Chain A
Amino acid sequence: MGEFREPLNVIVTGVGGQGNVLASQVLAAAAVEAGYRVSIGETFGASQRGGSVMSHVRISRDRTYGPLIPRGRAHLIVGFEPLETLRILMDYGNPETVVVMNDRPNYPIGCLLGEEKYPDPHLIVEAVNRLAAKNHVLPATELAKEAGNSMAANMVMTGALSGSGLLPFGGDRFTGVIETLFSGEVRDLNMRAFQKGTEAVQAAGTAR
């Protein structure tokens, strides 16, 4: 279990369509089941496929915080996409911020059209390494494919966050929420993806 900061500020970031809103909702529901208060701020609106999206999740022992995390005050950043992870880390991170990130780029349209250049993904990871106190990098999209569907990368990332030991509650809170929210095939897929994320982050060598 992680050391608790009051409030614990977590940012889940990615690209519209990657399922980070659902991931933040699962995180919040797990926290509430564990007895915490939560506030989530979403940036919807521009969340059409392809736009940058982020969710601010604030977990408190006893208080309702505002839905937005002040700049420079994120404790944890869960990045579904390398460029978005770096972007958010620059704005909301501080030297103690810990990052859990997916290594799979999702190219902005300007890059697909050959008009802009997406930085070398290895350099993004390197930049995050230099800025963050700790960076857990994992191939979440690949692990989701192994679990049955690349769309479940959000649950791989949620599993990784849980397995990182940075939260004040355990994985059983998450699996309880996944059990309640989903049924049948989707539940099994999400559960497998969650486990894969947890295992990946706990396996030696994934953490720097």
Chain B
Amino acid sequence: MSIYAVALDQPGRAVVLTGNEAVARGAIEAGVAFAACYPGSPTAEVLPTLAQLGDRFNIYTEFSTNEKVAIEGAAAASFAGLRSLTICKADGFNVALDFATAVCLSGTKGGMVIMVGDDPNAHSSVKEEDSRFLARTANLPVLEPATVAEAKEVTRAAFELSEKIMLPVVVRCTTRICHASGDVKLGPLPPVEKQAALSRDQRYVTSTLFAQFMKGKVKTAAALAEDSPFNYYTGPDNAERIVIACGPSCAYALEAIEILGLGDSVGLLKISTTWPLPENLLLKHLKGAREVVFAEEVDSFLEDGVMTIAAKHWDEVGPVKFYGKNTGHMAGPRGAFVGELDPDTVTSCLSKIFSVPYDPPALPNAREARELVNYSMPSRELALCAGCPHRASFWAIKMAVELDGRNAIVLGDIGCYTLGLMRTGYNILQSVHCMGAGVGIACGLGKLDRFNFRQPVITVVGDSTFFHAVPQALINARYNQSDILCVILDNETTAMTGHQPHPGRGVSASGQPAGKVEIEPLLAGMGIPVTVHDPYDVEGTVGVIHRLLRESGPRALVLRRACALVAVKGRKKDRVYVNQEKCIGDDCGCARFCSRVFACPANIWDSRLGKARIDEAVCNGCGVCASLCPQRAIIVERTV
């Protein structure tokens, strides 16, 4: 909830922390010295928490340009004997994976933890991915906390395990841990003195021969998992029906068992060490079981692992029926591999599997209430914020593409500007995959002229994405002379994940002055011509894009304007209003352009007067709508 609670030196006191804060506190209690990340939801708040406490607890923190650089920095600190942490989301772990699959061979020294946030239901992601498969590919043990309180304890334990086996350890949290909150009992704080040392005779290299040592370390982790305090069974002795669960699904399953009144016959085996698995512990419970249900999120990782153990020991285990994602029995309304679990889903699945009736509580008068409001329950769709410079940029691109008339392709990727897929961004984007992917795809499309592909290719990237993943693709565009226009939507921050700084800002994670990397000279060094324009000047921007579309080779356009949410902070906003005399409503023929077409949330339609209006509480004062109104009825009063 607050930095205050994370920093408290009161061992034994219970405080409310978010899952991300609990991980940060766990790392502090473990004496972490180095933390690096590229921000990604649901784990974006861990590093800023540590950065604010860096001076107090002697922790170096950085936002790295991407997850691969971050994990390498964390490994460096570990080689020097320090405890280190790197934090990413599942998508970020993909970027770090190349190094992860190598560092498992070289080994590490100081405890090194990789916190990965998976996002079941893709609350703030473009896909659901199960990072546990990646950890297994990299031979790195996985620990999964089931509650916020356990997130702190598991993080601490992960540092210890890492030091014991000299491998990084993955702490896999899901959104319902990261963004959940709960009471956490604070532990003692370690001394702040930390010493780095790397002697000339320490070597960290990979060799195929080291694979046997690495596998030995994983075996040790499996042996230690047998006695992990984070794995335990609750329920009747020798239950023939058990649920094996990990993460927040443990609590859902326990509650479901209670709701269904199955407490006397169904047990819950909670597993935190989801890789490598504790084989003996699982065997002990599998031997007595006849029906086993798996409750886990994203993919069937635990399920596959346990079934492999059961197959290996089939003669001891005997006939068991398994129910999980693979069998389609543990599935929400959209199927086993879409969305997250919740207590209702687990309850209804268990009720079907164990043939126990379940009637969820219902409101007797719901129908009547619905009738009362005329069945009108308008939903709230996602929209770019009022004054968002991306809205102006997307509008200008849309106009320029129409003027150009050659059906230009528009590609995108990850950031606030992903909303360019939706109505709020005029449905302009035709591709979204991962950080920087639009530029690589553009490179490919830009070379298809020999196959009679003549449409211009535009790719949009954000400024933070630019530093994360774009230079390599642009170097490729220059080298191979691909015909692309890369539009950099520079809002001077990493807006989507909560306004973290990046290399273009010249500000560090802890808010201190830092080295600044300018986009234009970087592009110039690549030999890519660059134009800079303010997207709030929509007409000018349309002209620039229209011109650039007619040029050939790789070229770049920086549309620079600060994120509207940052720009208005601590500043008096310009007042924008509609001159009710000038606005002629539906007689205009503009089809309610400002509210219905341009669709900024501050532009509203007054049905009573039949005229446009500005919601001054929502408006951020950008004035773009004023420049687009055909009657010039929208007035901007600049504050001095």
Binding site for B on A (CB under 8 A): 15, 24-25, 28-29, 32, 36-46, 48-52, 64-73, 83, 86-87, 89-90, 93-95, 108-120, 123-124, 126-128, 130-131, 180-181
Nearest residue, chain A, Cβ from B601: A109
B interface secondary structure, majority: loop
Q: Which residues of A contact B370 (CB under 8 A)?
A: 90, 127
Q: Which 5 A-B pairs have the closest CB atoms?
A: A66-B251, A45-B123, A72-B361, A119-B373, A127-B369
15 contacts between A and B (CB under 8 A): A28-B16, A38-B182, A39-B180, A45-B175, A50-B382, A64-B149, A67-B248, A67-B251, A71-B344, A72-B362, A86-B373, A90-B370, A119-B376, A123-B372, A131-B365
Among B124, B344, B363, B595, max chain A CB count under 10 A is at B363
Mark contacts of B347-386 with chain A using CB atoms, 8 A cut-off: 1 yes-contact digit, 0 otherwise. 1000000000000111111101110111011111111011
Is the CB of B574 closer than 8 A to any CB of chain A? no
Given A39-B181, A94-B361, A70 contacting B176 (CB threshold 8 A): no
Contact of A66 among B123, B181, B252 (CB under 8 A): B252
CB of A97 to closest CB in B, whole Å = 8
User: Is B173 located at the chain interface by the 8 A CB criterion?
Assistant: no
A123–B373 touching, CB < 8 Å = yes
A114–B1 contact, CB under 8 A? no
What is the CB-to-nearest-CB distance from B572 to chain A, in angstroms, rounded to a whole number? 16
Contacting residues, chain B, for A40 (C-beta < 8 A): 16, 180-182
Instruction: Name the residue of chain A whose CB is nearest to the CB of B596.
Output: A113
Most buried by B among A29, A37, A128: A29
- Shortest A141–chain B CB gap in Å is 11
B176, B366, B592, B601: the one contacting A90 at CB < 8 Å is B366
- How far apart are the CA atoms of A94 and B362 in the complex, in Å? 6
User: B383–A32 contact, CB under 8 A?
Assistant: no
| Supplied contacts A71-B360, A127-B370, 17 more A-B pairs, CB within 8 Å | A15-B380, A29-B16, A39-B180, A46-B123, A46-B382, A49-B386, A50-B380, A67-B176, A67-B180, A70-B347, A70-B360, A83-B378, A87-B377, A94-B363, A109-B601, A117-B376, A131-B365
Q: Is the CB of A32 within 8 A of B376?
A: no
Q: Closest approach, in angstroms, between the C-beta of B247 and any C-beta of chain A? A: 10
A53: shortest Cβ distance to chain B, in Å?
A: 9
How many Å lie between the Cα of A29 and that of B615 in the bound state? 35
Bound-state CA distance A90–B179 (Å) is 25
Interface size band for B: 35 or more
Q: Judging by beta carbons under 8 Å apart, are B615 and A116 in contact? A: no
Taken together as a complex, chains A and B put the C-alpha atoms of A48 and B342 apart, in Å, by: 23
A-chain residues with CB within 8 Å of residue B259 when the two chains form the complex? 70
Taking the nearest CB of chain B, how far is it from the CB of A80, in angstroms? 13
Residue on A with the closest CB to B2? A181
Identify B369's interface contact among A52, A73, A115, A130, CB under 8 A: A130
CB neighbours of B368 from chain A (8 A): 130
**Which residues does chain B contribute within 8 Å of A25, judged by CB atoms?**
1, 16, 181
- Which residues of chain B have a CB within 8 Å of any CB of chain A? 1-2, 4, 14-16, 41-42, 123-124, 147-149, 175-176, 179-183, 248, 250-252, 254-255, 259, 342-344, 347, 360-366, 368-370, 372-374, 376-383, 385-386, 592, 595-596, 599, 601, 604-605, 607, 615, 618
A70 touches B376 (CB 8 A): no
A87 to B377 alpha-carbon distance, docked (Å):
8
* A66 surroundings in chain B (CB, below 8 A): 176, 248, 250-252, 254-255, 343
Least CB separation from A84: chain B residue: B380
Residue contact A126 to B123, C-beta cutoff 8 Å: no
Complex Cα gap A73–B179 (Å): 22
Report yes or no: A131 in contact with B4, Cβ–Cβ below 8 A: no
The residue that B182 contacts in the complex, of A64, A95, A112, A124, with Cβ under 8 A, is A64
A86 touches B369 (CB 8 A): yes
CB neighbours (8 Å) of B2 from chain A are 181
For A128, list chain B residues within 8 Å (CB): 369
Contacts of B383 in A (CB 8 A): 48, 50, 109
- A87: chain B residues at CB < 8 Å are 377
Say whether A39 contacts B182, CB under 8 Å.
Answer: yes
Known A-B contacts A38-B181, A67-B176; the reply to A49 vs B601 at CB < 8 A is: yes
Nearest A-chain residue to B249, judged by Cβ: A66
Query: In whole Å, how far is B164's beta carbon from the nearest beta carbon of chain A?
Result: 28
User: Which one of B41, B366, B386 has the greatest number of beta carbons of chain A within 10 Å?
Assistant: B366
| Smallest Cβ-Cβ distance to A89: which chain B residue | B363
Knowing A25-B181, A109-B380, A123-B372 touch, does A64 contact B251 (C-beta < 8 A)? yes
| CB-based contact A70/B255 at 8 Å | yes
What's the least CB distance linking A52 to chain B, in Å? 5
| B300 CB to nearest A CB, Å | 21
Q: With a CB–CB cut-off of 8 A, which chain B residues contact A113?
A: 592, 595-596, 599, 604-605
Known contacts A66-B255, A72-B360; decide if A110 and B378 are in contact (CB<8 Å). Answer: yes
Given A25-B1, A50-B601, A71-B360, A127 and B382 contact (CB-CB distance below 8 Å): no
Q: Which residues of A contact B123 (CB under 8 A)?
A: 43-46
Closest to B13 in A: A32
Q: Which residues from chain B contact A124 at a C-beta distance below 8 Å?
A: 373
Whether A93 touches B380, Cβ cut-off 8 Å, given contacts A45-B41, A67-B180, is no
Q: Which of B182, B255, B374 sits near A119, CB closer than 8 Å?
A: B374
- B606 nearest in chain A by CB position: A114
Contact partner of B148 (CB less than 8 A), chosen from A24, A39, A51, is A39
Can you name the residue of chain B whose Cβ is closest to the Cβ of A132? B363
Contact A111 B378 (CB under 8 A): yes
